[in-house]
């Protein structure tokens, strides 16, 4: 596209910055995963360990940088950005909500003894 090449300055600095951010987040994740701080493992928030919440938030943060900086979503028009990102976020949240609720229900059924499975 002509308008792309015309005013494209080099993004090198931004690319390396994003690389550093992604690396640091990954290192933090790995360190947390190895030492597993007792406080974060024992504290529960909405029936999930705080540590797992941190992992998920860091992952979404990484996903944001990959999509916005590397895939250059920040440079696309609002229309394209929303039709891709909002569709994905809505459907994924819906799917996760449905399946995890159902999974938890089946766990309760197994646990409350109507079905014997540990033999």
Partner 1 sequence: MDTAVTKTGTEGKIWGGGNQPLKASYGKMMMWFFILSDALTFSGFLAAYGFSRFKFIDSWPIADEVFNHFPFLHGVDAPMYYVALMTFILIFSSVTMVLAVDAGHHMKKNKVIIYMFWTIIGGLIFVGSQAWEWKNFIKGEYGAVETKGGQILQFVDKDGHRVALDEIAIPITDVREQHQDKNGIWYDSENTLPTYTVNEVKAGFVKNTDLLIRTQQLTETGEKTVLSREESLRRLNTDAVGIVEGANLIHNEYGTPLFANFFFFITGFHGFHVFSGVIINIIIFINVILGTYERRKNYEMVEKVGLYWHFVDLVWVFVFTFFYLV
Contact 74, 89 (CB under 8 A): no
**Closer to partner 1 at the Cβ: 37 or 95?**
95
Burial of 71-107, coded b for 16+ CB within 10 Å and e otherwise, reads eeeeeeeeeeeeeeeeeeeeeeeeeeeeeeeeeeeee
Residue 107 beta carbon to partner 1: minimum distance, rounded to whole angstroms: 5
* Binding residues for partner 1 (CB under 8 A): 1, 3-5, 8, 10-12, 15-16, 18-19, 22-23, 26-27, 29-30, 33-34, 41, 52, 55-56, 58-59, 62-63, 66-67, 69-72, 76-77, 79-80, 84, 87-88, 91-92, 95-96, 99-100, 102-104, 106-107, 110, 116-119
The first and second tokens of residue 107, run together, are 């766990």
Contact 85, 67 (CB under 8 A): yes
The first and second tokens of residue 97, run together, are 């909500």
Residue 18 beta carbon to partner 1: minimum distance, rounded to whole angstroms: 8
Residue 6 beta carbon to partner 1: minimum distance, rounded to whole angstroms: 10
Residue 61 beta carbon to partner 1: minimum distance, rounded to whole angstroms: 10
């Amino acid at each position: 596209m002509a308008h792309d090449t015309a005013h494209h300055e080099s993004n090198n600095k931004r690319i390396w910055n994003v690389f550093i951010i992604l690396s640091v987040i990954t290192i933090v994740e790995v360190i947390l995963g190895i030492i597993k701080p007792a406080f974060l493992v024992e504290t529960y928030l909405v029936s999930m360990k705080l540590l797992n919440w941190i992992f998920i938030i860091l992952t979404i943060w990484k996903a944001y940088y990959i999509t916005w900086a590397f895939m250059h979503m920040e440079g696309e028009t609002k229309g394209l950005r929303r039709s891709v990102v909002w569709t994905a976020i809505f459907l994924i949240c819906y799917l996760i909500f449905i399946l995890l609720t159902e999974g938890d229900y089946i766990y309760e059924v197994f646990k409350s003894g109507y079905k014997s499975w540990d033999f």
